[in-house]
Amino acid sequence: MTNIIPVDCHIHSTLSPDGNDSPETMARRAFELGIKHFTLTDHIENEKLSSWGYAEAMEKSLEVYRRLKAEYEGRMNVYFGAELGQALYDLPQAEAILERYDYDFVLGSQHRTKSYARVDRLPDDDTVKYAYLDEYFEELLALAEWGRFCSLSHLTFPLRFISGDVGGGELDITRYCSVIDKILDTIIKKDIALEVNSSGIRKGLHVPMPGMEYVKRYRDRGGRMITVGSDAHRAEDVGADIPQCLEGLREIGFSEICVFSKKQPIFIKI
């Protein structure tokens, strides 16, 4: 396994409510690691914009992007990104944000469901966990059908909280095969990439989100656009476990991944 980290397309800074280090610190860390393509993707939690200073953070994110792009010119490619959560909960607002900011890269995410605001606070009850997953995948499919984003983020996100070291549940995920296939077919048809999010590895799932069996399903169905990100919320996690994700991708036949500039994919050899 080579330890080269060519990209990190999922990074949070203090311009996210849960970020720990400044965008400048995150970029410096990426540069020190030899990363060639760096996309800051601070949170926009669409249904609760007024709960935190998102509006101000989005403005700052644009300023910071311009500054970092100039600072690293010729040394590291810097892209203007965002992680847009729950776009469908207020579609006019989500679309207005996308009109206002000319992002290079938008991650489409679903961090909750209509009935359950906190996936990290579900009761330890399999019935509830399955109810959450039923709703989650249905909402994720609707998000994919809307499709105004570049890469579908962490497809198996709830598993981090309901199985693995954190959630402990032993759930039968095979019951979601058909809806997952529909989601994959939808993003393939719409030229939306699939994200391989390495944070599952360090956050108790021990595999990326999604695991490679799902990435293989995406490939088998014709999908060829993969983005890779650490979902770092602090500098020490920038690039974390990305070499392992790339190794997994090569094993299932990928020789390229994507970064996005002006919402267009650029293919990078791995």
| Least distance to Zn ion, CB of residue 75, Å | 25
- The CA distance from 145 to 155, in Å, is 14
At residue 148, what are phi and psi to the nearest 5 degrees?
A: -85, 60
Q: Single out the residue of 47, 231, 237, 241 in contact with Zn ion (rule: CB under 5 A).
A: 231
Binding mask 115-144 for Zn ion (x = CB under 5 A): ------------------------------
Neighbours of 6 (CB within 10 A): 18
Q: Residue 12: helix, strand or coil by DSSP?
A: coil
**Stretch of 25-33, 48-56, 214-222, 231-239 lying at the interface with Zn ion (CB under 5 A):** 231-239
Strands 256-261 and 226-229, bridge-based pairing: unpaired
Return the number of the residue (21 or 231) whose C-beta is nearest Zn ion.
231
Taking CB under 5 A as the criterion, which residues in 52-91 touch Zn ion?
Answer: 83
At residue 49, what are phi and psi to the nearest 5 degrees?
A: -60, -35
Question: Which residues neighbour 186 within 8 Å (Cβ) at sequence distance 6 or greater?
Answer: 141, 144, 145, 147, 192
Return the number of the residue (41 or 77) whose C-beta is nearest Zn ion.
41
| Least distance to Zn ion, CB of residue 10, Å | 6
| Least distance to Zn ion, CB of residue 107, Å | 7
HSE-up (13 A, CA, CB side) for residue 238 = 32
| Least distance to Zn ion, CB of residue 253, Å | 27
Reported as type and span, the H/E element at residue 80 is: strand 77-85
- The CA distance from 185 to 219, in Å, is 10
Q: Single out the residue of 46, 77, 109, 227 in contact with Zn ion (rule: CB under 5 A).
A: 109
Question: Which residues are registered as beta bridge partners of 105?
Answer: 81
**Stretch of 105-113, 170-178, 237-245, 251-259 lying at the interface with Zn ion (CB under 5 A):** 105-113
Number of residues that bind Zn ion (CB under 5 A): 3
**Stretch of 91-99, 101-109, 114-122, 188-196 lying at the interface with Zn ion (CB under 5 A):** 101-109
- Is residue 194 a contact partner of residue 223, using CB atoms and an 8 Å limit? yes
46 lines the binding site for Zn ion (CB under 5 A)? no
Residues that bind Zn ion (CB under 5 A): 83, 109, 231
